[in-house]
Amino acid sequence: MTKTMLRALAGETLPTPPIWMMRQAGRYLPEYRATRAKAGDFLSLCYNPELAAEVTLQPIRRYGFDAAILFADILLLPQALGADLWFVTGEGPRLSTITGPEGLKGLKGKDDIHEHLAPVYETVRLLSGALPADTTLIGFAGAPWTVATYMIAGRGTPDQGPAHALREGDPETFGAIIDLLTEATIEYLSMQVEAGAEVVKLFDSWAGSLRGEAFERFALAPAKRIITELKARHPGLPVIAFPRQAGDKYIGFARAVGADCLAIDNSVSAQWAAEMLQPDGCIQGNLDPRHMVTGGQALIDETRQIVEAFRNGPHIFNLGHGITPDADPENVQLMIDAVRGG
Ligand code: 1CP
């Protein structure tokens, strides 16, 4: 096995960690903005396999990252299940909302998603033939809780209030949404793997707003079910779990859900994570994405500190969350040089 990303995921400690970036294909890159304009809008770009593959490849060509992540969005799955989805420029996603049992009735079954998602699978197929031999292809989906927060509220929310209200006020409807998303996510990711994804990542961006037993039931349990089933269908498939902002609930999470790698945000220190989390396996993270805007010596110092903190175990270098549209593309190169050049 020569791909450094796969070696780190298999538990190997490497002299230089593999590196990629969340949202590496995104608005901070002029070539991305040009291709999105050609596609018309964001969703048209997601559903155009040639152009989606093109934007996936752009950061690989520019920076030589060790991994490429499929260009798509976590909200394509609810759309495939029958939710309305549109993007308001400058604001973000909007979906139809689910406020009670009747909202569930319009949704499709877990096996009825593939026709809608066929262009995504085609993007994966194109990429697996087009990537450099040493670049690993990552497929992904949102975790059920995070996707549910958007389906229930109809948009991104600062505190996931509507989803928590449904969880507490109508546990039956809420539980049915989580169960449907859990099973549909298995089918969706399984098809990505069949199309050529070598690794899958589960993004639970809002896991941090679940507390106590709710975290176990709606973040941990669905991740465990998805990973267990995917690994049964695709033996040896490496999985990255990202229960963002889980704090002390990061401890033991990878082992509990069966993930090969735990991705962490930048609210925890690399030193703490190296001591408390890395003994369980590979860690991905965790530079503050603000450094991609501010740059300078602070970016270089912080990057080196993270590499140093994780140097005695398996590590994949990444940001703690997605790179933002106001980032300077030159700072990305600075970060890569600091990781690879020592
Ligand atoms: O205008 C644009 O071009 C849209 C910006 C954009 C991009 C580039 C969105 C809208 N999605 C994406 C791509 C995307 N989204 C990828 C592609 C691969 C990559 O380069 O990383 C991935 C993996 C995602 C995942 C995603 N989408 C997450 C989970 C990760 C995270 O950032 O926490 C979430 C929560 C979404 C929803 C979403 N899609 C887009 C936006 C702006 C949002 C967040 C909305 C909100 O909460 O307000």
Backbone φ and ψ for 53, nearest 5 degrees, come out as -65, -40
* Residues recorded for the chain: 342
Look up residue 332 and give its two tokens. Answer: 């990305």
Q: What average pLDDT score do residues 115-142 get?
A: 98
| Separation between Cα atoms, residue 92 and residue 216, nearest integer Å | 29
Measured CA to CA in angstroms, residue 257 lies from 15, 102, 236, 284, 319 at distances of 28, 32, 15, 16, 22
* 281, 321 contact by CB (below 8 A): no
| Separation between Cα atoms, residue 207 and residue 245, nearest integer Å | 7
Q: What average pLDDT score do residues 20-45 get?
A: 97
Q: Is 265 a catalytic residue?
A: no
- Is residue 204 classed exposed, middle or buried when 0-12, 13-18 and 19+ CB atoms within 10 A define those classes? buried
Is the model's pLDDT at 90 over the cut of 90?
A: no
Q: Which of 28, 32, 36, 167 is catalytic?
A: 36
CATH of domain 4-340: 3.20.20.210
| Separation between Cα atoms, residue 307 and residue 117, nearest integer Å | 37
**With a 6 A CB cut-off, is 36 part of the ligand 1 pocket?**
yes
SS3 273: helix
Look up residue 212 and give its two tokens. Answer: 């106590």
- Is residue 232 classed exposed, middle or buried when 0-12, 13-18 and 19+ CB atoms within 10 A define those classes? exposed
**With a 6 A CB cut-off, is 119 part of the ligand 1 pocket?**
no
Q: Is 27 a catalytic residue?
A: yes
Domain extents for the chain?
4-340
Q: Which of 33, 73, 125, 170 is catalytic?
A: 73
- The percent of residues in the chain predicted with pLDDT above 70, rounded, is 99
| Separation between Cα atoms, residue 266 and residue 69, nearest integer Å | 20
- Give bridge partners of residue 142 from the DSSP assignment: 203
| Separation between Cα atoms, residue 61 and residue 56, nearest integer Å | 10
Is the model's pLDDT at 112 over the cut of 90?
A: yes
pLDDT at 2: 86
| Separation between Cα atoms, residue 35 and residue 54, nearest integer Å | 8
pLDDT at 1: 64
The answer to whether the pTM exceeds 0.85 is yes
The residue with tokens 């230089």 is 16
Q: What average pLDDT score do residues 139-167 get?
A: 98
| Separation between Cα atoms, residue 163 and residue 159, nearest integer Å | 9
Q: Which of 28, 32, 47, 150 is catalytic?
A: 150
Reported as a single tens digit per residue, the pLDDT across 188-242 is: 999 999 999 999 999 999 999 999 999 999 999 999 999 999 999 999 999 999 9
Look up residue 102 and give its two tokens. Answer: 């009747």
**Close Cβ partners of 301 (under 8 Å, ≥ 6 residues apart):** none
For the chain, the average pLDDT equals 97
**With a 6 A CB cut-off, is 92 part of the ligand 1 pocket?**
yes
Reported as a single tens digit per residue, the pLDDT across 298-318 is: 999 999 999 999 999 999 999
pLDDT at 342: 59
Residue 244 CA, closest ligand 1 atom number: 33
E-state strands within the chain: 67-69, 85-88, 92-95, 136-142, 199-204, 239-243, 261-263, 282-287, 315-319
Cis peptide before 266 (omega within 30 of 0): no
| Separation between Cα atoms, residue 164 and residue 171, nearest integer Å | 10
SS3 139: strand
pLDDT at 89: 85
| Tally of CA atoms within 13 A in the half-sphere of 248 that contains its CB | 2
Which of 45, 48, 54, 74 best tests ligand 1's pocket when mutated (most atoms within 8 Å of CB)? 74
Using pLDDT thresholds of 50, 70 and 90, give the confidence band for residue 128: very high
| Separation between Cα atoms, residue 156 and residue 147, nearest integer Å | 10
| Separation between Cα atoms, residue 330 and residue 63, nearest integer Å | 10
